[in-house]
Structure 1
Amino acid sequence: TIDYRIQQALKQLRIELKDYLPLLLPLLVKNV
């Protein structure tokens, strides 16, 4: 179903965000 695909996509996004968060965090802090 579409719901299942959305769940899978969100899981993948979360995994990728975990990898990129340490790199993005300093940029976000600087911008604020």
Structure 2
Amino acid sequence: MTDEQMARVLREDVIALSLSMPMPMPIQSSRCR
């Protein structure tokens, strides 16, 4: 695997993680409380 392919897979993992996780940031949620 080339560095470019690894970077693409990592980016897809990050996107999948961010989609599966709740979007509000911890700072914003703590500020709302």
**TM-score over 0.5 for the pair:** yes
Q: Is 1:18 aligned to residue 9 of structure 2?
A: no
How far apart in 1 are the matches of 2:3 and 2:17? 21
Counterpart of 2:9?
8
Higher helix share: 1
Query: Which of these two proteins has the greater Rg computed from alpha carbons?
Result: 2
TM-score by length of 1: 0.61
Q: Percent identity?
A: 4
How many pairs were matched up? 26
CA-based RMSD of the aligned residues comes to 1.8
Pairwise CA distance, 1:19: 1.5
